[in-house]
Amino acid sequence: MAMSVNVSSSSSSGIINSGFSRSGASSEPKVSQIGSLRLLDRVHVAPVSLNLSGKRSSSVKPLNAEPKTKDSMIPLAATMVAEIAEEVEVVEIEDFEELAKKLENASPLEIMDKALEKYGNDIAIAFSGAEDVALIEYAHLTGRPFRVFSLDTGRLNPETYRFFDAVEKHYGIRIEYMFPDSVEVQGLVRSKGLFSFYEDGHQECCRVRKVRPLRRALKGLKAWITGQRKDQSPGTRSEIPVVQVDPVFEGLDGGVGSLVKWNPVANVEGNDVWNFLRTMDVPVNTLHAAGYISIGCEPCTKAVLPGQHEREGRWWWEDAKAKECGLHKGNVKENTADGNVNGESKNAVADIFKSENLVTLSRQGIENLMKLENRKDPWIVVLYAPWCPFCQAMEASYDELADKLAGSGIKVAKFRADGDQKGFAKQELQLGSFPTILVFPKNSSRPIKYPSEKRDVDSLTSFLNLVR
């Protein structure tokens, strides 16, 4: 069967391609730049002509020609269906849950090699300018060609931009940068100012500067590689698999399930990642030496203190479970109508702060404490949520403080301020994020909020001595 298809387009339309740089010396053709696809203005498709004898003939009428009788269409259509069916390729749908189980105990290098082998030019590493350089090193060690892209939000630290340059030179690659839409950024800044995220949350700014540029990048891929680890954020990343169908973004083919997400270091602890980076002597962001562990935009990132969780330096004014910018929104567990999280009750989480010298306050109890203008004893109260990793991190020191102050005339207490009590705590108790620590002096009706992130026994004791 011979088939001729003529396709023509207007000279003013087309697909704009630019070379997508790749690492290493490779003879394979360059790939189109992520996000550079432009729709055709219009395409004209000429009718298809078939000659069932197998010979070319200009006298064969196109399929849309009017047949002489209705019967004459039947054998032609049947033959077409049979011929086309022979050429249809059967595509098997891969079970990525099963693949994730097989790779659960695999090394990051093995997982990276599998991802690059499977997707070739249709996969890229998402590089954030932090310890994601480990991903680039693993890709380099496989010996396979690889691609790297990053999101330049326009608000990164100067050290991060210098780090980008060092990584490009070290590996001989060109990072493909995705930028936010200038009109959208201008509209946000003009209407709400440069720092609106401190007042109404970071999600809107991240959506403009990060999520939408990422969406454009991923539309040119079939898979992407991230540096997510389970220990980065117990509230949102504790269950990520090493490979999964992306629950949020679409890939090259479009539609749900069209993009696969690979997380080669999902099961690796942060200390092990850093041991690997030191061993391989690769470039690292100089901000790490200044106490920055998880690095994002400059206004939303700060150094953390010893003993603090690494994500506490990101969007520090918000709750632990809000610390996702939207790039990995699928990690966030949804609350159900009955207050459960993905079907699991928050009440099932084991409580924290268990010293016998510590008072547990109910809603009525803390309201009564607020009403007392002349207290017999000063109080220190932590507003907490037992699932919050930052509250968990200070549990030992707070219990020690309660034991140390037993019999001193200072009451040490806790008040669970999540769930139904969160609105009350925000409005009446100055709750900003968990944990919030309040001191109720003897001769003041208004509690004083502890302003520091140093939550060790000595720091808390010193503050109490100054204000009690």
State pLDDT tens for residues 265-306: 999 988 899 999 999 999 999 998 888 888 889 888 888 776
Residues 309 and 411 occupy one common structural domain: no
Q: Is 206 a catalytic residue?
A: no
**Which of 206, 300, 325, 388 does the annotation list as catalytic?**
388
Last residue of a domain, one of 331, 360, 382: 331
Q: How many domains does the chain have?
A: 3
Cα–Cα nearest to 453, from 315, 325, 296, 307: 307
Report the distance separating Cα 136 and Cα 134, nearest Å. 5
Per-residue pLDDT tens for 221-268? Answer: 999 999 998 877 555 556 789 999 998 899 999 888 899 999 999 999
Task: Find the CATH number of the domain harbouring 438.
Answer: 3.40.30.10
Report the distance separating Cα 221 and Cα 278, nearest Å. 31
Is 336 a member of any domain? no
Pairing, β 31-32 against β 2-4: unpaired
DSSP code, position 9: E
Q: Is 388 a catalytic residue?
A: yes
Last residue of a domain, one of 286, 307, 331: 331
**Confidence class of residue 209 from pLDDT cuts 50, 70 and 90?**
very high
Is 286 a member of any domain? yes
Residues 112 and 214 occupy one common structural domain: yes
Residues 236 and 369 occupy one common structural domain: no
**Confidence class of residue 347 from pLDDT cuts 50, 70 and 90?**
very low
- Three-class DSSP category at 290: helix
Report the distance separating Cα 121 and Cα 33, nearest Å. 11
- With beta carbons less than 8 A apart as the criterion, state whether 324 and 332 touch: yes
Residues 351 and 324 occupy one common structural domain: no
Instruction: Please list, residue by residue across 280-308, b when 16 or more beta carbons sit within 10 angstroms of its beta carbon and e when fewer do.
Output: eebbbbebbeeebbbbbbeebbeebeeeb
Residues 161 and 234 occupy one common structural domain: yes
Is 338 a member of any domain? no
In order of 158, 178, 189, the CA distances from 210 in angstroms are 18, 9, 15
Residues 59 and 116 occupy one common structural domain: no
In order of 45, 95, 450, the CA distances from 49 in angstroms are 12, 40, 80
Cα–Cα nearest to 254, from 215, 284, 290: 215
Residues 155 and 292 occupy one common structural domain: yes
Cα R_g (the chain), whole angstroms = 30
Residues 76 and 111 occupy one common structural domain: no
- With beta carbons less than 8 A apart as the criterion, state whether 142 and 112 touch: yes
Residues 65 and 176 occupy one common structural domain: no
**Which of 205, 206, 325, 391 does the annotation list as catalytic?**
391
Is 341 a member of any domain? no
* Whether residue 7 has pLDDT greater than 50: no
Domain hosting residue 81, numbered range: 2-87
Residues 385 and 236 occupy one common structural domain: no
Is 96 a member of any domain? no
- With beta carbons less than 8 A apart as the criterion, state whether 455 and 397 touch: yes
Length of the chain: 468
Residues 304 and 363 occupy one common structural domain: no
Residues 291 and 432 occupy one common structural domain: no
Report the distance separating Cα 276 and Cα 347, nearest Å. 39
Provide the H-helix boundaries in 249-341: 270-280
